[in-house]
Each structure stands twice: as C-alpha cells, then as structure tokens.
Amino acid sequence: MKKKYKYMHILNGRPAHYVNNRQIVFSCGVVENLCDTLKQLKKQQLLSEAWRLSKGWIETKDYGHLRVVVD
C-alpha cells in the first residue's frame, strides 16, 4: 500500500502552522492545516514573509518543514 504524506511547517525548529491570509505561527498542542503538497507549503512561507514585511516586521528566515505520514 502506497503511503500518503502531508507537510507540516516548522518555525525556529518548533511545530507551526499557517494562519490564512497572515503568517506562519507556532502551534500550541495541536498542529493545524497540514499541507497536501510541498509546493503549497512553500507558497505559504512566501505569503507569510510578504505579510510580515507589509507590517514592517523583520523577516523570519528560519522556516522548515516535516513530511508526515497519514493514514
């Protein structure tokens, strides 16, 4: 049986998730909004960075991801 994967954001080495139309934030207890593709995850990273820059906040370059096996 072929394994199915999803992708989870990592921010500064800790679990995180993307808040729609805003930014990537740390997850507290539950990781939400896993990405179906790596392309989707990378797009969310770009959107998060653009949103932060639009607010005059510093860039967050320590983005990463984990590939998660789902049933």
Reported as a single tens digit per residue, the pLDDT across 19-45 is 999 999 999 888 878 999 999 999 999
Answer for the pair 65, 41: CB distance below 8 angstroms, yes or no: yes
Q: Distance (Å, rounded) from C-alpha 38 to C-alpha 8? A: 9
Going by pLDDT thresholds of 50, 70 and 90, the confidence category of residue 59 is confident
Q: 44 CB contacts (<8 Å, ≥6 apart)? A: 9, 18, 24, 35
State the chain's mean pLDDT as an integer: 91
